[in-house]
């Protein structure tokens, strides 16, 4: 503005420049005073704070010089030079002091962190712990610590200690914050940590603060349960008293798979893209063959009865054997001769052969499918012996055998061969009940009373 006011076109803002400098100088002084009071509670990083303090004071000083030189030193020979120099210094100072102030309130690297998140698409979070058996899990290490890391460490750890509190170890948690202990063992309603979690989210003291990721109801329930049980750091879940209400919440922490919840198992190692010509040929037959998801080269195929013979399609699948993990061939015209090709698809995890013409002879071809977890043989001409041929497949989790030649005894043998798998021979019935077709009608009551 100062520079602009020298240009004739903008000479009319000259008087505004003075006022701007005056206001700037006054507010710099006021912020210095309030800053000094705020720094007294010692929540901030010492080194940054002292820089911020001294630079803030300089801003106040130099902006005052600027104003004085502009307004009252009209006759002074170096007046215009002095104003320019102090103006430029002030510009740099405000820039740096402002940034330091930002660092104090928002934490180190507050400008670069969001950018990093944009480019990495992840915020540093606790790696998801797989709890296979929740009863054996350590309450603090396996359940609470990851929860704290994800939702509390942002302000209460080595990076920042808002309210003087750190939560990144047992000792720090027990030490509490500047207002004292945060946990009163056995008494959640007197524990600061729990009280603040259940405060109305609009209240100032509610934790985590508005706009930050909140704890879920189950997470709060877990903290409540932990405190009621005396907030132990070393105990396992099974050693704590578990009221009926906690059971489903605890059970929901358990997970059987490495994959995160709601995501299907796919191999973790990368694979090269499938041969495009082979894919195009397959698609021409009407097969729905696609990557299992964006960014993955693994393939899922669903093949419908159509123009080509099933056996022919099976051969066409061979070139994509490294990528194909899910395959549905239900109802297509596939026989044992096509099974030789299916046996070469060694990456398969899920395979549906239901209502095809295959027999035990064809099944024998599948012995090399070591990754297989799901096998659907519903409506095929297979027998117990045929299925037992595959007992070397250790990863199998479920086999569906409805409408096959397998009888009760065969079923028992298969169960022995696959002790950990779920075997379903179907044939469920929903019995007829008299009430199914009976209709309830209005009973006309005799009128009573008046």
Partner 1 sequence: MTRKELDTQRLFQEARHESLQWVTRRHFLKDSITGLGAMALGSFLAGCDWLGSRQTGSNILFDSAHPLAPKLPMFPGKAKSIIYLHMAGAPSQLELFDYKPALMKLDGQDCPPSLLEGKKFAFIRGVPKMLGPQAKFAQYGESRTWLSENLPHFSTVVDEVSFLKAVQTDQFNHAPAQLLMHTGVARLGRPSMGAWVTYGLGTENSNLPGFVVLTSGGKFPDAGKSVWGSGFLPSVYQGVQCRSEGDPVLYIKDPKGMDRDLRKASIDAINEVNKLSYEEFKDPEILSRISQYEMAFRMQTSVPDVMNINDEPEYIHEMYGTQANKACFANNVLLARKLVEKGVRFVQLFDWGWDSHGSDANLAIDIGFINKCRSVDKAMTALILDLKQRGLLEDTLVIWGGEFGRTPMQENREGKPNPFKGRDHHTEAFTIWMAGGGIKKGFSYGETDEIGYTAISGKVTPYDIQATVLNQLGFDHEKFTYQFQGRPFRLTDVHGRVINEILA
Binding site for partner 1 (CB under 8 A): 118-119, 121, 217-218, 221, 245, 248-249, 251-252, 256, 261-264, 266, 286, 288, 290-294, 296, 298, 302, 304, 330, 352, 354, 374, 376, 378, 398, 400, 402, 424-430, 432-433, 435-442
* Structure letter (DSSP) for residue 161: B
Q: How far apart are CA 267 and CA 393, in angstroms?
A: 17
Contact 93, 65 (CB under 8 A): no
Q: How far is the CB of 448 from partner 1 (least distance, A)?
A: 15
Q: How far apart are CA 439 and CA 407, in angstroms?
A: 39
Nearer to partner 1, 171 or 200 (CB): 200
Q: How far apart are CA 290 and CA 182, in angstroms?
A: 53
Q: How far apart are CA 177 and CA 154, in angstroms?
A: 15
* Structure letter (DSSP) for residue 37: H
Q: How far is the CB of 124 from partner 1 (least distance, A)?
A: 17
Tokens of residue 387, six digits: 């299925």
Q: What 3 state SS string does 92-138 have?
A: HHHHHHHHHHHHHHHCCCCCHHHHHHHHHCCCCCCCCCCCCCHHHCE
Q: How far is the CB of 294 from partner 1 (least distance, A)?
A: 5
Q: How far is the CB of 348 from partner 1 (least distance, A)?
A: 15
Pick from 240, 249, 136, 145: nearest CA to 185: 240
Nearer to partner 1, 155 or 299 (CB): 299
Return the SS3 of 84.
helix
Q: How far is the CB of 46 from partner 1 (least distance, A)?
A: 37
Q: How far apart are CA 283 and CA 167, in angstroms?
A: 56
Q: How far is the CB of 295 from partner 1 (least distance, A)?
A: 9
Return the SS3 of 324.
strand
Nearer to partner 1, 149 or 285 (CB): 285
Return the H-helix or E-strand segment holding 22.
Answer: helix 14-39
Nearer to partner 1, 302 or 335 (CB): 302
Chain mean position to CA 240? 28
- Counting other chains too, the contacts that 413-418 makes at CB distance below 8 Å and 24 or more residues apart are 413/384, 413/388, 414/384, 414/387, 414/388, 417/387, 417/388, 417/391, 418/391
Nearer to partner 1, 126 or 251 (CB): 251
Q: How far is the CB of 402 from partner 1 (least distance, A)?
A: 4
Burial 339-356 (b: 16+ CB within 10 A, else e): bebbbbbebbbbbbbbbb
Nearer to partner 1, 221 or 388 (CB): 221
Contact 365, 339 (CB under 8 A): yes
Nearer to partner 1, 125 or 178 (CB): 125
Nearer to partner 1, 146 or 232 (CB): 146
Q: How far is the CB of 328 from partner 1 (least distance, A)?
A: 8
Q: How far is the CB of 337 from partner 1 (least distance, A)?
A: 24
Nearer to partner 1, 8 or 442 (CB): 442
Q: How far apart are CA 410 and CA 81, in angstroms?
A: 101
């Amino acid at each position: 503005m100062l520079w602009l006011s020298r240009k004739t076109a903008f000479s009319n803002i000259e008087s505004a420049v003075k006022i701007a400098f005056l206001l700037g100088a006054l507010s710099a002084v006021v912020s210095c005073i309030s800053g000094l009071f705020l720094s007294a509670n010692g929540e901030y990083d010492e080194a940054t704070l002292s820089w911020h303090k001294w630079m803030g004071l300089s801003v106040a000083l130099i902006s005052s010089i600027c104003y004085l030189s502009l307004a009252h030193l009209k006759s002074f020979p170096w007046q215009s030079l002095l104003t320019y120099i102090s103006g430029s210094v002030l510009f740099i100072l405000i820039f740096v002091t402002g940034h330091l102030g930002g660092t104090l309130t928002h934490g180190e690297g507050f400008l670069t962190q969001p950018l990093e998140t944009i480019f990495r698409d992840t915020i540093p979070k606790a790696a998801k712990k797989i709890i296979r058996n929740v009863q054996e899990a350590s309450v603090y290490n396996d359940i609470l610590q990851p929860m704290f890391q994800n939702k509390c460490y942002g302000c209460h750890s080595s990076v920042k200690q808002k309210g003087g509190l750190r939560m990144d170890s047992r000792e720090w948690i027990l030490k509490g914050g500047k207002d004292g202990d945060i946990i009163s063992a056995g008494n959640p309603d007197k524990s600061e940590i729990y009280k603040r979690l259940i405060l109305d989210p609009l209240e100032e003291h509610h934790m985590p603060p508005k706009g930050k990721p909140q704890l879920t109801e189950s997470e709060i329930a877990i903290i409540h349960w932990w405190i009621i049980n005396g907030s132990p750091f070393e105990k396992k879940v099974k050693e704590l008293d578990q009221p009926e209400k906690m059971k489903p919440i605890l059970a929901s922490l358990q997970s059987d798979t490495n994959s995160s919840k709601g995501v299907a198992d796919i191999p973790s190692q990368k694979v090269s893209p499938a041969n495009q010509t082979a894919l195009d040929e397959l698609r021409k037959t009407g097969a729905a063959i696609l990557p299992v998801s964006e960014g993955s080269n693994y393939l899922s195929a669903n093949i419908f009865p159509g123009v080509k013979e099933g056996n022919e399609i099976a051969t066409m699948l061979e070139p994509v054997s490294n990528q194909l993990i899910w395959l549905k061939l239900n109802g297509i015209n596939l026989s044992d001769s096509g099974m030789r090709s299916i046996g070469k698809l060694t990456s398969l995890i899920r395979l549906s052969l239901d209502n095809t013409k295959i027999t035990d002879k064809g099944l024998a071809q599948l012995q090399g499918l070591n990754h297989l977890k799901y096998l659907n043989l519903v409506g095929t001409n297979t027998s117990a012996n045929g299925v037992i041929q595959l007992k070397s497949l250790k990863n199998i989790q479920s086999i569906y055998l409805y409408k096959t030649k397998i009888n009760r005894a065969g079923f028992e043998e298969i169960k022995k061969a696959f002790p950990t798998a779920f075997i379903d021979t179907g044939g469920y019935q929903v019995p007829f009940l008299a009430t199914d077709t009976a209709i309830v009608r209005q009973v006309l009551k005799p009128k009573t009373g008046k």
